[in-house]
Amino acid sequence: MKTLSRIAVATTLLGTSLFANPDTMQQETYDSIVKTGNDVTTTLIQTLGKNLKQHLKSDGPLGAAKFCSTQAFPLTDTVSAQYGKAIHVKRISLKERNPANAAEGSEKTVLEALQTLQNNGVVLPKYLVARVDANTAKYYKPLRINKKVCLKCHGAVSKNAKLATFIKSRYPNDKAIGYTMGDLRGAIVVTIKQ
Ligand code: HEC
């Protein structure tokens, strides 16, 4: 009986400390990272989405792809700048179009893990938080092909010869085609310094 209650106490303590300290992180720190990550990713998705929609409407997929090829980066950097020096946001993928968006190091490990989960029927979490060092954390938002419009430029692109030619010439090593609805496309990563 005594042993059992000791185990119970130990389990409770462990449970409490895990809750207060997710992956050796204070709950307040974790909550603040999640809040910042949610804000920054929402702003980025809205900014890129709004521009993509406008250009698809006025210039069609080819014009919109040209727009993305020159403006997706500057727009992403503008969102970063808006949140100050302690925040940096970018997009990553395991099957990247722009080589500058290739997942590297621990980011690659996180995306591979998400891909494995998705392959096994796991509904992916809305976000993940990773500790990088004592003062730095990364917030990941998994990005799926969640709208049919994504397939215009990331699906069976060869259906649109002009678009396919543009993409091939601008991105000779493009890996971001052949996706279908629901596929994991990559993630938005927000690096946060405390
Ligand atoms: C009009 C064509 C077009 C459409 C539609 C489109 N994309 Fe892209 N996408 C691009 C181009 C071009 C790039 C490379 C330029 C860049 O963003 O750096 C890109 C890059 C990306 C990247 C960055 C990783 C990489 O491969 O370089 C992600 C993530 C992405 N797209 C997701 C999406 C999602 C999700 C949708 C649907 C909501 C979508 N795209 C719709 C053209 C498009």
How do the domains of the chain map onto residue ranges? 23-193
In whole angstroms, give the CA distance from residue 103 to residue 116. Answer: 16
List the residue whose alpha carbon is closest to atom 21 of ligand 1: 97
pLDDT single digits (tens) 51-104: 999 999 999 999 999 999 999 999 999 999 999 999 999 999 999 999 999 999
pTM summary value = 0.89
Q: What average pLDDT does the structure give for the chain? A: 90
Predicted pLDDT at 17: 39
Q: Which residues contact 111 (CB under 8 A, 6 or more apart)?
A: 92, 93, 94, 103, 184, 186, 187
In whole angstroms, give the CA distance from residue 121 to residue 117. Answer: 7
How buried is residue 104: exposed, middle or buried, by Cβ count under 10 Å (0-12/13-18/19+)? exposed
Higher pLDDT, 193 or 21: 193
Greatest pairwise CA separation for the chain in angstroms = 76
Alpha carbon of 130 to ligand 1 centroid (Å):
25
How buried is residue 148: exposed, middle or buried, by Cβ count under 10 Å (0-12/13-18/19+)? exposed
* The pLDDT of residue 16 is above 70: no
List the residue whose alpha carbon is closest to atom 23 of ligand 1: 91
Predicted pLDDT at 25: 85
Q: Tell me if 73 CB under 6 Å of ligand 1.
A: yes
* The pLDDT of residue 12 is above 70: no
